[in-house]
Structure 1
Amino acid sequence: MRLRNKPWAQKLVKEHPEAILNEPNIDEKINWEERFADFSKPLAIEIGSGKGQFITTLAKQHPEMNFIGVELQTTAAGMILRTKLEEGIDNLQLMCADAANIAYYLPENSVDVLYLNFSDPWPKTRHEKRRLTYKSFLDKYRKVLKPEGHLEFKTDNRGLFEYSLVSLNNYGMKFEHVSVDLHHDEDEIAARNVETEYEHKFAEKGNPIYCLHASFVEE
């Protein structure tokens, strides 16, 4: 969902290049060691961070890790940035960028966990290649994830969930966890779940939340 443009968000993004990368050049290597106090910590990245409830909450809960939130919309990115600055979340960096370029922005085998939360389902067949679980995106995730790293995906859209199961399976990925009603599960995954803004809204309406965890199988 596209947010209404907020001039203050664009201004904030421009004023804080130390905290957010705004449309970085794919030909220029990003020095992540300078952007984090300790880049040797485990690294998690969320693609499509929305207003940031998930990634900011997780970063506060886990100071022993580093986090990167990637969001295409400047207004949404500005909202996350405001939270980061107001709450002093030092282990979180942001990118206002296209996820299609993720493999250019991060070192190979540097990410421990990659989150895809409530991604645009792009329901029309002609838009299949835009879905964040399409095989071309999986190619990129495989490059940046560590061999022992994994992907965590949540959605309220059954069509996208079923598509993603097939896409990841055809890619040869290994499923570690699959749920068709996360909020009514009684397991460790459900217990540690951190909600996104959309997730909270959909769950309140009684919609089931679909979830999967999967990893790439080394050749």
Structure 2
Amino acid sequence: MRLRNKPWASDFISQYPQYLIQAPENQKGKWNELFGNDNPIHIEVGTGKGQFITGMAKQNPNINYIGIELSENVVVLALQKLVDVELPNVKLLNVNANDLTNIFEKGEVGQVYLNFSDPWPKKRHIKRRLTYKTFLALYETILADKGEIHFKTDNQGLFEYSLMSFSEYGLLLKYVSLDLHNSNMEGNIMTEYEEKFSKKGQRIYRVEVQYK
């Protein structure tokens, strides 16, 4: 579903440069300096309205989180949420995931979260899936040794494709859940989509994979 255009978004974003970082390529290799500590950096690619990343930051104050969102009309909603809670360990970027290697130095990121990514179901759009091999190569470049991807979706087709893509790339499957909300996982932070789908009784799939 396409969100309505928000003509006020740019002005609102310009008021909070401490949260939504402009010219993030200038921070490449220096993100810990911006956060003012040496804590691990975790990124969420496709941060949506920000419920997951702010929840994770509250739960884990000793981890720095960076939310990446392409749509200005969406990232501004995450920014509003962040302004309300004033978390020092969260930054937001309004950029394309294809630019990750221009923004982060090799090994600068500890973990990548992919939550309810667009499934791009048509075969001709397969290269746009965030678990396609070219994206896996981007993540590998910026991740530290044995860095991980944590992936959640309600889409069974995308999940099955992603498991295959991870395996073909040579990633180690550390954890797989075919029904997350009926598993024994503790501390799960739900996204807005996750809440919506789970209330409808839809199954949530989750996998953790590690680069060797």
TM-score (norm 2): 0.95
Partner of 1:86: 84
Deviation at 1:81, TM superposition (A): 1.1
The amino acid across from 2:188 in the alignment is N
Report matched runs for 1:31-180 at 5 Å: 31-38=30-37, 40-180=38-178
Deviation at 1:194, TM superposition (A): 0.6
Are the equivalent residues in 1 in contact too, given 2:154–2:202 (CA < 8 A)?
Answer: yes
Deviations 1:60-115 (A, max 9, x none): 11111100000111121111111212211111011000011111111111111110
Runs of 4+ aligned structure 1 residues displaced above 6 Å come to: none
Cα distance in 2, alignment partners of residues 42 and 74 from structure 1: 26
Partner of 2:19: 19
Deviation at 1:8, TM superposition (A): 2.7
Cα distance in 2, alignment partners of residues 69 and 77 from structure 1: 9
Cα distance in 1, alignment partners of residues 36 and 24 from structure 2: 23
Are the equivalent residues in 1 in contact too, given 2:120–2:129 (CA < 8 A)?
Answer: yes
Cα distance in 1, alignment partners of residues 167 and 72 from structure 2: 34
Give the 3 Å change call, closer, same or farther, for CA 51–25 of structure 1 in structure 2: closer
Are the equivalent residues in 1 in contact too, given 2:44–2:66 (CA < 8 A)?
Answer: yes
Cα distance in 1, alignment partners of residues 27 and 178 from structure 2: 40
Aligned to 1:120, what secondary structure does the other structure show?
coil
Are the equivalent residues in 2 in contact too, given 1:19–1:35 (CA < 8 A)?
Answer: no
Partner of 2:204: 209
The amino acid across from 2:16 in the alignment is H
Deviation at 1:59, TM superposition (A): 0.7
Deviations 1:102-133 (A, max 9, x none): 11111111111110000000000000000000
Structure 2 residues without counterparts, runs of 5 or longer: none
Could you tell me which of 149, 174, 180 is aligned with 1:182?
Answer: 180
Aligned residues: percent identity?
44
Are the equivalent residues in 1 in contact too, given 2:44–2:68 (CA < 8 A)?
Answer: yes
The amino acid across from 1:168 in the alignment is F
Aligned to 2:21, what secondary structure does the other structure show?
strand
Cα distance in 1, alignment partners of residues 32 and 181 from structure 2: 37
Structure 1 residues without counterparts, runs of 5 or longer: none
Are the equivalent residues in 2 in contact too, given 1:2–1:73 (CA < 8 A)?
Answer: no
Give the 3 Å change call, closer, same or farther, for CA 34–150 of structure 1 in structure 2: same
Partner of 2:7: 7
Aligned-pair Cα RMSD in Å: 1.4
Deviations 1:149-175 (A, max 9, x none): 210000000000000000010000000
